[in-house]
A and B are shown apart, each in its own frame.
Chain A
Amino acid sequence: DGGITQSPKYLFRKEGQNVTLSCEQNLNHDAMYWYRQDPGQGLRLIYYSQIVNDFQKGDIAEGYSVSREKKESFPLTVTSAQKNPTAFYLCASRADFSGNTIYFGEGSWLTVV
Chain B
Amino acid sequence: QKEVEQDPGPLSVPEGAIVSLNCTYSNSAFQYFMWYRQYSRKGPELLMYTYSSGNKEDGRFTAQVDKSSKYISLFIRDSQPSDSATYLCAMNENSGYALNFGKGTSLLVTP
A48 on the interface (CB 8 Å rule)?
Answer: yes
A95-111 CB contact bits vs B (8 Å, 1 = yes)?
00110111111110100
Chain B residue numbers with a CB within 8 Å of A100 are 32, 34, 49, 51, 92
Chain B residue numbers with a CB within 8 Å of A107 are 41-43
**How far is it, in angstroms, between the C-alpha of A101 and the C-alpha of B8 when the chains are bound?**
23
Of B46, B88, B95, B104, the residue contacting A103 (CB under 8 A) is B46
> How many B residues have CB within 8 A of the partner chain?
22
**How far is it, in angstroms, between the C-alpha of A86 and the C-alpha of B97 when the chains are bound?**
26
Residue pair B88, A105 in contact (C-beta under 8 Å): no
> How many A residues have CB within 8 A of the partner chain?
24
B74-111 CB contact bits vs A (8 Å, 1 = yes)?
00000000000000100010010111011110000000
Given A50-B97, A97-B97, A100-B51, 12 more A-B residue pairs with CB atoms under 8 Å apart are: A42-B88, A42-B101, A42-B102, A43-B88, A45-B98, A98-B95, A101-B34, A102-B99, A104-B43, A107-B42, A107-B43, A109-B41
A90 on the interface (CB 8 Å rule)?
Answer: yes
Chain B residue numbers with a CB within 8 Å of A2 are none
A33 on the interface (CB 8 Å rule)?
Answer: yes
B57 on the interface (CB 8 Å rule)?
Answer: no
Residues of B within 8 A of A (CB): 8, 32, 34, 36, 41-46, 49, 51, 88, 92, 95, 97-99, 101-104
Chain A residue numbers with a CB within 8 Å of B34 are 100-101
Q: Which 3 A-B pairs have the closest CB atoms?
A: A42-B103, A104-B43, A100-B32
Chain B residue numbers with a CB within 8 Å of A48 are 97-98
Residues of A within 8 A of B (CB): 4, 6, 33, 40-43, 45, 48, 50, 58, 88, 90, 97-98, 100-107, 109
